[in-house]
Structures are given as C-alpha cells and as structure tokens.
Structure 1
Amino acid sequence: RDGALLPRALAALEIPDQEKHKCSKGSPTCATSEGLKAHHAIEIYSLHVDCKVTSRFAHTIITSKIVNRANESREATFEVELPKTAFITNFSMSIDGKVYPGIIKEKASAQKEYDTAVSRGQSAGLVKITGRKLEQFHVSVSIAAASKVTFELTYEELLKRQLGKFELLIKVRPKQLVKHFQVSCPGEGWAGSSAVVLGCAPSEMLMPTSSLSD
C-alpha cells in the first residue's frame, strides 16, 4: 500500500544509491555534474539506531537527520530492509523542529498531492511499502531549500530461536559518509553482549549481530 507524506506526514530518509550515478561513456543515462551536485546537496549529518531487547522482544528506533544545502528543494529516497517478522509502530517527520503526524491515502491521490507539494518547493514525502511481509520500506522525500528534517522510524520484533540462540540482525545503509553515526543495542539476558561488524562497504556501513541466551 502506498501513501503520501505531506506536510502532515511522517518519514525516514536516505540518499539514492550511488551506483545510479555510474555509467559508461556516451550513455544517455549518464549523470551530469549538475546531477551529482544535487545528489551531494542532501546530507545525512546524523544517523542513530537504538535497539532495546527485553525478554526476546526487540524495539528498534532509527533516527536520520538530514539537511538540504542547496538553494532549492531536492528529492531523495530512503530504503529500510526490515526483518520479515517485524512490524512498524511509528513513523514521524520533523521539519525545523515541528513534528507532523502521518497520513495514509489512496495511491493516486497520494501521488497527486505529493507532486503538488514538490512543485511548490515544499517538504513532502511519498511512502511505498513492497513485499507481503513489509520486507522493504521505501520513502521518497522532497526537502525544501536550506531545511533540516528529522525522520524517525520505529519497529518491533519478536526474536526467533536459531540453532539454540535468539539472533538479532540490524541492517543500516546510509550510502554516504555520516558525521554522527551510532548503533546502540543494550539488552537484558544477553549471552555476552556483543556486536560484530560484517562487510563495511559504503552501501552497507554496519551490520551488527548479537545473540540472546535460551
């Protein structure tokens, strides 16, 4: 189901995949220097992932703080890969300190209102959820010139036993260097609280995993 995140909507944000700017010489889809400037105008200056585990139940909050350094509105996208068993409990957007509640609308109506907001240079978002079990959460957002936006996504998950242990997987993909980047995951009943960094490629900065005792 799709919905618009208008000035009364909620969102989380990330920069489009840098791979989209790669191309062969002479390709009609090759990004121009202006396109690259627009890409870098959107900066994620803070990204925090806070996860708390209590009695095999995980509560995760992802907070992204973004600034548009251009002199006009810019559009960016955010994709979050959620566990199949997770469910979203909150999704909020704060523009210049003011928090707006989300509104879910019919697809065509949502797209129309989103396009109108973008044409006016307003901050707006369009949420698209794909997959029958909410495996991927996608957000398209237009950020007004020189504006700061804070996006907060909250989801919960009941951990399942695997090979005698309960595993928690957090996947973070900022797709750009983030000045303030933090992952916190305290919990009760950990069989040795730990975090393992797996493959810190630019597109997947950190993927910590931990296990709970039986």
Structure 2
Amino acid sequence: MSSKMQRPVCLLIWLFLLEAQAFEIPINGNSEFAEYSDLVELAPDKLPFVQENGRHQRSLPEESGEETDTVDPVTLYSYKVQSTITSRVATTTIQSKLVNNSPLPQSVVFDVQIPKGAFISNFTMTVNGMTFTSSIKEKTVGRALYSQARAKGKTAGWVRSRTLDMENFNTEVNIPPGAKVQFELHYQEVKWRKLGSYEHKIHLQPGKLAKHLEVNVWIIEPQGMRFLHVPDTFEGHFQGVPVISKGQQKAHVSFKPTVAQQRKCPNCTETAVNGELVVMYDVNREEKAGELEVFNGYFVHFFAPENLDPIPKNILFVIDVSGSMWGIKMKQTVEAMKTILDDLRTDDQFSVVDFNHNVRTWRNDLVSATKTQIADAKRYIEKIQPSGGTNINEALLRAIFILNEASNMGLLNPDSVSLIILVSDGDPTVAAMGEMTAGLDNLSINHFFPYL
C-alpha cells in the first residue's frame, strides 16, 4: 500500500482540557441516554452507529423486560462495537455508555484491548452532553500538559501504553452523582492473510452486565468471499448467539446476547463476555498476478502466490539466560523454543547461542535440522539454568560471526535467507549494544518475547 498508517512509538497521551476555565461536569438540564434504533443493513458508506433519537427520559426504562442488577452503583447502559472491513482494511468503533446511579462520585474506567499494529484515529469522552476530544502528544510533552492542567484545577486524563505493550488502551474519569459518560474509540488496521485466511479479532471486555450489548462486523470484499467462519471462543457459552449472513461480496456477523445470556450462570451478576470474538474469512483468488485496486489516488496490490516451495533458512537462536529469566519466563521460553524447533524443515540450518554475562554456543557451526539434531538442541535448552547479567552485544556478535563464517566457507544455500532470533526480556546489563553494522546487509534480526 503506497500510503501506510503509522503507529506512534511514543506513549499515547490523551488530554481532555477546556481552553477557557476549569472543567465542571453539569448534572442537570441534559438529556438522558436515548434508546438506539435497531441496526439495519446499510450501504457501505453509511455504516457508522445510528445516532441517538434525542428523546428525553428521566430514568432508564426497562422496555426490554430484563433488569440488570442495581447493586453496582455504576450501570453499563450500552456496550457497542462495530467493524467495517473493506478490501482487507478494518475500521472499528468501540462505544461504552455508563450511568452513575450512586449518591456519591464514582470512578469510571474505559479499558479495551486493540490489536497490536492498529492505528487509533480518534477517542472522545462525553460527560452529560459535554464532549472532549483527544489529542496525541509525545510523552514528555503530555506529562507536562497533564501536570499544568491539574495544577490549574482542570480535570485532565491521559492514557499510557508501554512501547512493548501497545495493545492495551485504558483511561479513567471521576464523575459526580447522576452523571452519564460515553467513551468512544476508533481505530484502523490492515488485515494480513495467515494460514490461508484473514482473521478479525475483537476483544470484548465490558467488565459488567450491559443493558444493551451489540457487536456488528460488516465485510465488503470486491473479489468475492470464498468462506466465512466464526469459531467458538467462549467455551460454548454463546452457542447460537452469533448470527451470520453471507452474500457473494458482502457478509454480516451480529453478536447481540441478552442480559440473561451474558450472565455466567442464571443467578450470577458477573458477565461471561470476556474474550475475543473472532471472524475468519478468505476471498476468491484467480490464477493471475494478484488484484490491483485504486481508490482516491491510492492503490493497493494484493497477491498471495500458492504452491511455492518454502525458502531454506539459516537461523541462529540467541537466548537470554540471565537471572531475570528465572522461573516462568524461562519455562515459557523453553516451551516456545521446542515448538519452534519442531517447525524447522530438513532444508533449514540452525544453531543456538545462549548468554548471560558470558556467551555459550550449542554448536559452533550451523547444522542441518534433522530429527537427531533437533532432539539434542531441545535437551540442551531444557538444561539451561538462568543466572548472571545480560550481555546481548557479545551474543549477537557471536551469532553474526557464525553466519559470516558459514557464508565465507560456501556452506549456505544461495537461495536461503539468514535470520537471528533474539529471545530476551529486556535491555542489556553488561556493556551496551555496540556497533554491529558489519555483516547485517542480508540479515534479519527479530526480537521475540514469548512470555508477554
């Protein structure tokens, strides 16, 4: 795609600030949450949420005949998600509406999981009809603005996402008695074809029973749809709840459990809606040079060649065995490595480098991925006992040296690719990442965190 969506690498800082005066939440003279009309199938350019009908009401009616428990001072009035996937680009909106029924101020949290790699395009918060739009700032600037706002008595909020954990979006606001708050998050992502299909995941985490819970996924693929499948990801609890309709080029998946269906058990107050709704599909493919689409001056070229022989690989696994890897991290690393080794093919070559403050090698040269060598590498990894510091620099230099030696001796298949896979839990504690530019022209280094 000629125009790429760039995800910020800094922290996401969202400030809700009024320019003129301190922010005071009005609690009177505002309309209550109105009922939503039933969603109907619309044209692709008219798929956003249906707007509120503006009807005023002083309390939440029980028109559906179902009652959520009133023990919780904060009622989740609605939790709605809508995704529209067109030509393998997904736009998703998550909307949550809550009401403070308590005579005391309450802290309200909006916590969602978004796919890693997604681009957040907008986030707004509406409190009693007053809307606050977010802005993205570099983390040091955001912290300064946040501190200034709080010092002036304004209500400000920020949302932080760590560099290595970009998929969690969380914000919190304190609202007075009777107040109503709406959160709305918009994000976009490109879908990638894996193992013969496209997979769209929506993590549903309302946190409590919702009077209205609704998820809609619309798919429009000009090439035509080969298949559509919604696997059971809730251990059978919502069997039959997803409704699927599929045409030649369009499909719709609806997930609307009632309050009774949301309960973990008939008398439970906890919600069973806590997991991923997954939609899998693939498009029709012709035996030609892919598909070219042009839209608004941009173009995208889709191609997925089939029946190609796997490319031989030369892989150096560089494993952190420092003291910080002790316990569950090392156990998960061993299990992950055993799975990866089982996936190697006989045309592949590999070796293992493990390091703490010192560097060791399982084999000083690359060896073929035979069953015997793989079994021996597994035994070696299982015996590792983490201890000491973290000398990533020397470990990577050793891996590069092994690959360069094999290349210089003509031991690498000219059609193969060389990779270094680094398995570690953080930054080096012994020395620093030195100059490792030599020999990296045709080398790929991947950083792998199996325990995150």
Aligned-CA RMSD value: 2.7
Q: 1:134 to 1:144 in 2, by over 3 A?
A: same
Counterpart of 2:230 in structure 1 is 195
| In structure 1, C-alpha distance between the alignment counterparts of 2:207 and 2:197, rounded to whole Å | 31
Residue number among 191, 202, 214 corresponding to 1:170 in the alignment: 202
Quote how far apart the aligned CAs of 1:149 are: 1.1
Residue number among 106, 113, 123 corresponding to 2:149 in the alignment: 113
| In structure 2, C-alpha distance between the alignment counterparts of 1:73 and 1:191, rounded to whole Å | 52
Quote how far apart the aligned CAs of 1:95 are: 1.8
Greater relative contact order: 1 or 2 (C-alpha under 8 angstroms, separation 6 or more)? 1
Query: Which has the larger strand fraction?
Result: 1
Quote how far apart the aligned CAs of 1:129 are: 2.0
Task: Please list every run of 5 or more consecutive structure 2 residues that lacks an aligned counterpart in the other structure.
Answer: 1-10, 20-70, 238-263, 265-270, 284-452
Counterpart of 2:98 in structure 1 is 66
TM-score by length of 1: 0.72
| In structure 2, C-alpha distance between the alignment counterparts of 1:7 and 1:64, rounded to whole Å | 21
Counterpart of 2:13 in structure 1 is 3
Residue number among 84, 88, 100 corresponding to 2:132 in the alignment: 100
| In structure 1, C-alpha distance between the alignment counterparts of 2:93 and 2:79, rounded to whole Å | 11
Other structure's SS at 1:110 match:
helix
Name the aligned partner's letter for residue 106 of structure 2.
R
Quote how far apart the aligned CAs of 1:210 are: 1.4
Quote how far apart the aligned CAs of 1:108 are: 4.9
Counterpart of 2:50 in structure 1 is none
Q: 1:144 to 1:191 in 2, by over 3 A?
A: farther
| In structure 2, C-alpha distance between the alignment counterparts of 1:135 and 1:58, rounded to whole Å | 16
| In structure 1, C-alpha distance between the alignment counterparts of 2:200 and 2:150, rounded to whole Å | 35
Quote how far apart the aligned CAs of 1:208 are: 1.8
Counterpart of 1:131 in structure 2 is 163
Matches within 5 A, 1:5-84: 5-8=15-18, 40-84=72-116
Of residues 98-107 and 180-189 in structure 1, the stretch that sits farther from structure 2 once superposed is 98-107
Quote how far apart the aligned CAs of 1:143 are: 1.6
TM-score by length of 2: 0.36
Name the aligned partner's letter for residue 16 of structure 2.
L
Quote how far apart the aligned CAs of 1:73 are: 2.1
Residue number among 131, 142, 145 corresponding to 2:174 in the alignment: 142
Quote how far apart the aligned CAs of 1:3 are: 3.2
| In structure 1, C-alpha distance between the alignment counterparts of 2:164 and 2:102, rounded to whole Å | 37
2:217 aligned with 1:207? no
| In structure 1, C-alpha distance between the alignment counterparts of 2:157 and 2:105, rounded to whole Å | 12
| In structure 2, C-alpha distance between the alignment counterparts of 1:93 and 1:191, rounded to whole Å | 39
Quote how far apart the aligned CAs of 1:70 are: 1.6
Q: 1:208 to 1:82 in 2, by over 3 A?
A: same
Counterpart of 1:88 in structure 2 is 120
**How many pairs are equivalent?**
180
| In structure 2, C-alpha distance between the alignment counterparts of 1:86 and 1:4, rounded to whole Å | 17
| In structure 2, C-alpha distance between the alignment counterparts of 1:213 and 1:2, rounded to whole Å | 33
Name the aligned partner's letter for residue 153 of structure 1.
L
Of residues 90-99 and 168-177 in structure 1, the stretch that sits farther from structure 2 once superposed is 90-99
Name the aligned partner's letter for residue 276 of structure 2.
M
Task: Please list every run of 5 or more consecutive structure 1 residues that lacks an aligned counterpart in the other structure.
Answer: 10-38, 119-123
Other structure's SS at 2:218 match:
coil
| In structure 1, C-alpha distance between the alignment counterparts of 2:207 and 2:14, rounded to whole Å | 24
Q: 1:67 to 1:128 in 2, by over 3 A?
A: same
